Amino acid sequence: MDFNTALYTDLYQLAMGQAYFLKGKHGTEATFDYFYRKTPFNSGYVLFCGLEEALDWLEKVSFSREDLDYLSEQGFDSGFIEYLADFKFTGTVKSVAEGEIVFPFAPIITVTGPVVECQIVETYLLNCLNFQSLIATKASRIRYISGEDKALAEFGLRRAQGYAGLQASRASFIGGFDTTSNVLAGKTFQIPITGTMAHAYIQSYDDELTAFRDFAETHPDNCVLLVDTYNTLNSGIPNAITVAREMEKKGKKLIGIRLDSGDLAYLSKAARKMLDDAGLSYVKIAASNQLDEHVIRSLKEQRAAIDIFGVGTNLVVGHENAALDGVYKLCSFEDKPRIKISENLRKMNFPGQKQVYRYFNGNGKCIADAITLEGLEAPDGMAHPFEPHKRMPLNPALAEPLLQEVMREGKRLSPVRSVRDIAAAAVKNLGRLPEEHKRFDFPHVYKVGLSSEIEQMRNHLKSEKLGESGT
């Protein structure tokens, strides 16, 4: 399947595109903001992920002859189809860096260009960025609770939502996982791949010990034995110990064992003792079975002797939030700021082309984000976006702009960043976030506010629109 086609969009984008085209407005410049409103998992932040793939798509997207024939069959105007034959994205993208932490309501990406182009690419951008940011955020929570000394292996491909498994492996790595079992993700993104064995392999033998021996013989340098097929404490671990000793005689070392059922705290502690008593303290203990950040937290509280957590389903499907609610909203058209009116202030967008400044304290920890108009300096104070009486003074000397131009006239401005670079940046960025925003229970809400210029513009446009509508 070729996903670089501009048909990877919602019909209404093309319907609006045709209307703009037939009214001669298709070249009019528009700006859209990408932002989200609510953090998933009750998290205090979102880890932004997916930008490289989005830029890659924007550079390649086009309609093939077959795509255009299909649109013709669907009844689109022939003139519009002719226009689409040369379609490419020629706009400007400003973005927060991939691997940066982002907060509700602050623009993460702004897309400026001919309105039809900006509109057609909306669906893919949301599809790509919402999903990957969701999974990277989940992964970062699992890393946070596991601690730096644990190895995290992503096992999710088999239970991922179709082809999204590839993006999930990438996002998991950026969020802090060490390896993936997804071989295609390993090749595509240069992520280290690791794996153990399935129950089927043990079941295929008449006895567990021979299965272990054969695997160790054929994988002398990367052998992890699955010990729970029959009886973990009475058969799996004793057989693994026998094989580990046989490997030692050949100058090899068993890397580890994997527990995949039962009480993982109890079994891991019992396994650790049995291995240590056998002089095999180097053999690591891996555990899997519907893990997530909450089970891992519980296992840590129980002092489980687990070195490696294998996490699949709950990570790659973003359990228990199926989607990040990221949206893409028009904020400027024909050089005029645009607003959508809603009874609910939270559903109104912030008009105009914008910049977001992040403020730090003297210890280098981030403390607030202020949204202001593009071209303005970092403000020295901000207002709460929905409760304007709440104000906060800010020190512009300790502010950094978050939105940087990453694409101009449809071409990226810097080379592709490797997932390793992005993952390293994520570690650094999460390190700048104070602990109170990372805790799982009632994380402290990070402050995002508006400069007085944006506030005034929103209030002005709001009264103008309400006046026009007679309300």
Ligand X SMILES: Nc1ncnc2c1ncn2[C@@H]1O[C@H](COP(=O)(O)OP(=O)(O)OP(=O)(O)O)[C@@H](O)[C@H]1O
Ligand Y SMILES: O=C(O)c1cccnc1
Which residues make up the interface to ligand PRP (CB under 6 A)? 155, 158-159, 198-200, 260, 288-291, 310-314
Tokens of 210: 């021979």
Looking at the Cβ atoms of 266 and 282, the one nearer to ligand X is: 266
Separation between Cα atoms, residue 213 and residue 231, nearest integer Å: 17
CB 250 within 8 A of CB 229: no
| 449: partner contacted, choices ligand Y, ligand X, ligand PRP, none (Cβ within 5-8 A by kind) | none
CB 56 within 8 A of CB 110: no
| 159: partner contacted, choices ligand Y, ligand PRP, ligand X, none (Cβ within 5-8 A by kind) | ligand PRP
265 in contact with ligand X (CB under 6 A) = yes
Classify strands 411-412 and 404-408 as parallel, antiparallel or unpaired: antiparallel
Following DSSP, what letter does each residue of 378-422 receive, concatenated?
PPSEEE-SS-TT-EEE--GGGEEE--EEEEETTEESSPPPPHHHH
| 181: partner contacted, choices ligand Y, ligand X, ligand PRP, none (Cβ within 5-8 A by kind) | ligand Y
| 195: partner contacted, choices ligand PRP, ligand Y, ligand X, none (Cβ within 5-8 A by kind) | ligand Y
Separation between Cα atoms, residue 111 and residue 13, nearest integer Å: 15
What is the nearest approach in angstroms of ligand X to the Cβ of residue 264? 4
User: What torsion do the CA atoms of 282, 265, 180, 124 make, to the nearest 10 degrees?
Assistant: -160
Looking at the Cβ atoms of 155 and 189, the one nearer to ligand Y is: 155
| Closest-CA residue to 330 (of 318, 338, 319) | 338
| 59: partner contacted, choices ligand Y, ligand X, ligand PRP, none (Cβ within 5-8 A by kind) | none
Among 298, 404, 459, 463, binds ligand X (CB under 6 A): 298
CB 120 within 8 A of CB 9: yes
What is the nearest approach in angstroms of ligand Y to the Cβ of residue 155? 4
What is the nearest approach in angstroms of ligand PRP to the Cβ of residue 228? 9
291 in contact with ligand X (CB under 6 A) = yes
| 264: partner contacted, choices ligand Y, ligand X, ligand PRP, none (Cβ within 5-8 A by kind) | ligand X
Among 10, 29, 217, 263, binds ligand X (CB under 6 A): 263
What is the nearest approach in angstroms of ligand X to the Cβ of residue 306? 10
Tokens of 160: 């991922």
433 in contact with ligand X (CB under 6 A) = no
Classify strands 256-259 and 101-102 as parallel, antiparallel or unpaired: unpaired
Looking at the Cβ atoms of 72 and 298, the one nearer to ligand X is: 298
Looking at the Cβ atoms of 204 and 363, the one nearer to ligand PRP is: 204
Following DSSP, what letter does each residue of 153-209 receive, concatenated?
EE--GGGSSTTHHHHHHHHHHHHT--EES-HHHHHHHT--B-----HHHHHTSSSHH
| 299: partner contacted, choices ligand X, ligand PRP, ligand Y, none (Cβ within 5-8 A by kind) | ligand X
Residue 428 backbone dihedrals phi, psi, to 5 degrees: -65, -45
Q: Which residues of this chain interact with ligand Y, rule CB under 6 A?
A: 155, 181, 195-196, 258, 288, 310, 312
28 in contact with ligand X (CB under 6 A) = no
| 187: partner contacted, choices ligand PRP, ligand Y, ligand X, none (Cβ within 5-8 A by kind) | none
What is the nearest approach in angstroms of ligand X to the Cβ of residue 299? 6
What is the nearest approach in angstroms of ligand PRP to the Cβ of residue 172? 12
Following DSSP, what letter does each residue of 232-260 receive, concatenated?
IIIIIHHHHHHHHHHHHHTT----EEEE-
Tokens of 412: 């990226």
Residues forming the site for ligand X (CB under 6 A): 261-265, 289-291, 295, 298-299, 302
